[in-house]
Amino acid sequence: MPLAGKRILLGVTGGIAAYKTPALVRLLRAEGADVAVVLSRSAAQFVTATTLQAVSNRPVRTDLFDAAAEAAMGHIELARWADLVLIAPATAHCLMRLAQGAADDLLSTLCLATTSPIAVAPAMNNRMWLHPATVRNVARLRADGVIVLGPASGEQACGEVGPGRMLEPDEIVRAVDGLLTPGPLTGIKAMVTAGPTREPLDPVRYISNHSSGKQGYAMAAALAAAGAQVTLVSGPVSLTPPAGVDVVSVTTACEMLDAVMARIAEQTLFVGVAAVADYRPARAAPQKMKKRSGAVRAVELVENPDIVAAVAATKGKRLVVGFAAETEDTIANARDKLVRKGLDLIAVNDVSDRTIGFEGEHNAVTLVTEDGCEHIARTSKHEIARAITDRIASMLAARGDFEIPSAR
């Protein structure tokens, strides 16, 4: 019962995904949570208070000025009662109101009054999610400390395909477990880089590599499950970000370096999993290069910045972890990289073995530190990520003087 004794205030706002909230309440309660539901006026168009009352076994609140409900538990008391305010689904309108600090209905008032964490699971049409106004509101909410769970990409109720689907109830519950159950990395801020980078030659061509981003995304998920507050700086991949992780999307190595450096000061841990392109074209042509001009045949390349080494160079007490793919002298090459880049730990895999690495679901790595090696035999990328997370947690714990820059 990972949520035993935890009190969750579930705000439901008016989107079609609201039909999934009775299942969400049941799953939260099955894990031991006490769930009180607040329904917005438009949410009542999609799911009834009667249903939610039956599954939560508590009266459902809808109105700020309901005298009887206020007499039983005033809204400020309700805000204090909650260990977590979870809004699922959170509509574009709800995100806008939260970002502005509105307080003209029960849910928005509760969000202003609570001192507990607030998590939102957005759900909306993909164009609404990608609209600059929503992007602005979500950025504001993240800066205010609101935890954004998802959304997932896929088929939408409107028939379109894209980002904006609410995470499934079981995914939301897993994220809530991570938020409310302290793990070995609770209070730690961690940054992960993942995926390939793309280095443009012209508006239609680029240099890149086969990285799928799967190992980096698994790493971000494992660190978040261990309680870390994770920022994932991701190159172009087609993966759904793990719940509860902040994603910064980039394309080129230089953009990745900028995104990392802008946020590195507050991070206790950095894990560089990205397959950063070693070189980029010296110049990206502004127009598509013509085959006949011969320009595509010889491309001048310049070296990209080494992001993990740049982080290590400024590290202070930060723990810096790298990944490496080698085809020969695996351990010796990894040791050399560990020292040359100034890393604390490097996870190296032998990519000459075709059954692991790049686009697959499996990996096998050797963890190399100054003190020695530990081999993790072929298993899923998620298991690999969990094993590395355990190792990171024990390395951090061993540093008795380690400072946690900011607790959640």
- Does residue 324 touch ligand C5P according to CB under 6 A? yes
Site for ligand C5P in 296-315 (CB under 6 A): 304-308
- Cα 95 to Cα 17, 46, 79, 169, distances in angstroms: 15, 18, 18, 19
383: Cβ–Cβ under 8 A, 6 or more apart, which residues?
Answer: 376
Q: Per-residue x/- mask for ligand C5P, residues 31 to 70, rule CB under 6 A?
A: ----------------------------------------
Sign of CA dihedral 33, 37, 42, 46: positive
Q: What are the DSSP calls for 387-406, one per residue?
A: HHHHHHHHHHHH-TT---S-
Q: Per-residue x/- mask for ligand C5P, residues 253 to 292, rule CB under 6 A?
A: x------------------xxx-x----------------
78 with 58: CB under 8 angstroms? Answer: no
230: Cβ–Cβ under 8 A, 6 or more apart, which residues?
Answer: 189, 190, 191, 192, 220, 223, 224, 242, 244, 245, 246
Catalytic residue among 94, 111, 158, 254: 158
- Pick the closer one to ligand C5P by CB: 99 or 308: 308
Closest approach, Cβ 340 to ligand C5P, in A, equals 8
Please, what is the angle between helix 106-113 and helix 92-100, to 10°? 40
Closest approach, Cβ 306 to ligand C5P, in A, equals 4
- Pick the closer one to ligand C5P by CB: 52 or 324: 324
- Pick the closer one to ligand C5P by CB: 134 or 197: 197
Question: Can you tell me which residue has the tokens 């035993």?
Answer: 4
For residue 59, cis peptide bond before it (omega within 30 degrees of 0): no
Closest approach, Cβ 405 to ligand C5P, in A, equals 22
Closest approach, Cβ 343 to ligand C5P, in A, equals 8
358 with 340: CB under 8 angstroms? Answer: no
Closest approach, Cβ 56 to ligand C5P, in A, equals 45
- Pick the closer one to ligand C5P by CB: 168 or 306: 306
- Pick the closer one to ligand C5P by CB: 57 or 327: 327
Closest approach, Cβ 257 to ligand C5P, in A, equals 8
Which of the stretches 5-13, 154-162, 319-327, 375-383 binds ligand C5P when contact is defined by CB under 6 A?
A: 319-327
Q: What are the DSSP calls for 274-334, one per residue?
A: -B--SEEESS--SSPPPGGGTTTTS--EEEPP-HHHHHHHT-TT-EEEEEEEESSSHHHHH
**Contact pick of 8, 323, 349, 382 for ligand C5P (by CB under 6 A):** 323
Distance of CA 260 to the CA centre of its chain: 15
With H, G, I as helix, E, B as strand and everything else as coil, classify residue 237.
coil
Active site (annotated) includes residue 158: yes
Site for ligand C5P in 84-113 (CB under 6 A): none
- Pick the closer one to ligand C5P by CB: 279 or 402: 279
Element holding 89 (H helix, E strand): strand 84-90
Vertex 213, ends 210 and 215: CA angle to 5°?
Answer: 110
- Does residue 241 touch ligand C5P according to CB under 6 A? no
Q: Are strands 152-155 and 362-368 parallel, antiparallel or unpaired?
A: unpaired
Determine the Cα–Cα distance for residues 1 and 381; give it in Å rounded to an integer: 27
- Pick the closer one to ligand C5P by CB: 34 or 199: 199
- Does residue 234 touch ligand C5P according to CB under 6 A? no
Q: Per-residue x/- mask for ligand C5P, residues 190 to 229, rule CB under 6 A?
A: ---x------------------------------------
* Count of residues that bind ligand C5P according to CB under 6 A: 15
- Pick the closer one to ligand C5P by CB: 175 or 345: 345
Footprint on this chain of ligand C5P (rule: CB under 6 A): 193, 253, 272-274, 276, 304-308, 322-324, 337
Catalytic sites, residue numbers: 158
